[in-house]
Amino acid sequence: MIASRASQTATSKEQVPLAELALVFLKIGTIAFGGPAAHIAMMEDEFVRKRRWITEAEFLDRVAAASLIPGPSSTEVAIFIGQAKRGWAGLVVGGCCFIIPAAILVTLIAAAYARFGSLPQAAGILYGIKPAVIAIIVQALWSLSRTAVKSKLLAVIGVLAVVLNGFGVSPLIVLAIAGIASGAAAWFKRQGEVSPAALSAFGRFGLLLGTAAVAVPVSLIRLFLSFLKIGAIVFGSGYVLLAFLRTEFVDRLRWLTEKQLIDAVAIGQFTPGPVFTTATFIGYLVAGIPGALLATIGIFLPGFALVALSAGLLPRLRRSAWASATLDGAVVGSLALMAVVAWQLGRAAIVDWRTFTILIAGLLVELRFNVNSAWVIAGGGMIGWLLR
């Protein structure tokens, strides 16, 4: 046993050729269907079991670190692994090669959507895909909430976050309030329970920060900065991205319609690689190839920077009771935003008894058989095509 552990540790410290690192991540980025959990499982199988590039303990440390910083968790795990094997060069190569296959595929699909999206055949497929996407989001929300909502206080904070977002408060502010409320509760724990009046005060503060939206002309610089901001602040599941996209591009800038947003989500779910390549699709719809490129760079760039900066910081945060509680609150706030978006997009996707049936069937398949989400979306698209 001791010899085996020593061998694993020695192997984990060996450098690998940069070209081999690139090819492996290109392969995973091309076949990694099913969302972040499936991506991470594939990486564990590839790098821990098959290639033994890193040990199980090292891999779990990087998964934990990726879950504690904003951005796409599976992409950040890829960046962490690349950094562990080849330093700065590995950080860039590992992350980029995981992202590039999905970004190229999504750009091609976006071009086809822009040209053929209104045809009856394509409309039928999207008619069935949309409720399937809602089913996947609801299933993910249920699964994540069972882990994240650890106490009654966190449940109350989650409800408060839903209310604040319903009143139009910015998702970033909602996350800040949720994190501060949970952190304050931990800080005052020895002095008694946090009163409902304190949480109400946080709520009133948040309601004062809601903003109105006016349509803004399309600008490549504004597009890049919008996705850069979103990539730097999206915390939690990749599905939480939807709340920020809706606030920024539907409500504030008015560059997208509700229909275009849910179509973008469907494409991001159905294609391999990071869910955040939804940004690539939106960038293409807004400003063509330049928009797709800038949107992709903007939303993923913060993840590279955060991984590079967070190597020694995150373990210290989790050892602090106050900081850990603040992060727990931010996670619950993220799930609340996800619930609001599921409701808003569901109203656009569930338009008759057929789409409602697809939703229920997708939920049953996800909850009962735990199948890959790509198969659920493929099934929804096939049913929609047959019905239309």
Does residue 182 sit in the same domain as residue 222?
yes
Q: Which of 97, 121, 150 is the last residue of a domain?
A: 97
At residue 369, does pLDDT exceed 50?
yes
- For residues 77 and 62, the answer to whether their CB atoms sit within 8 Å is yes
DSSP string across 320-352: SHHHHHHHHHHHHHHHHHHHHHHHHHHHHH--S
**What range does the domain containing 25 cover?**
2-97
| pTM of the entire predicted model | 0.69
Summarize pLDDT for 117-133 with one digit per residue, the tens.
665 666 777 788 888 87
Query: How many C-beta neighbours within 10 Å does residue 324 have?
Result: 16
Does residue 252 sit in the same domain as residue 171?
yes
Summarize pLDDT for 233-250 with one digit per residue, the tens.
886 556 678 888 988 999
Does residue 179 sit in the same domain as residue 228?
yes
What is the rounded distance in angstroms from the CA atom of residue 178 to the CA atom of residue 33? 32
Summarize pLDDT for 72-97 with one digit per residue, the tens.
888 998 999 999 898 899 999 999 99
Summarize pLDDT for 12-61 with one digit per residue, the tens.
556 788 999 999 999 889 877 666 766 887 788 889 888 888 888 788 77
What is the rounded distance in angstroms from the CA atom of residue 362 to the CA atom of residue 350? 13
Does residue 63 sit in the same domain as residue 121?
no
Q: Which of 97, 126, 151 is the last residue of a domain?
A: 97
Does residue 215 sit in the same domain as residue 276?
yes
What band does 229 get if pLDDT is binned at 50, 70 and 90? very high
- Exposed, middle or buried: residue 347 (CB in 10 Å: 0-12, 13-18, 19+)? exposed
At residue 328, does pLDDT exceed 90?
no
Does residue 85 sit in the same domain as residue 146?
no
- As for how many domains the chain has, the answer is 2
Q: Which of 65, 80, 97 is the last residue of a domain?
A: 97
Does residue 276 sit in the same domain as residue 290?
yes
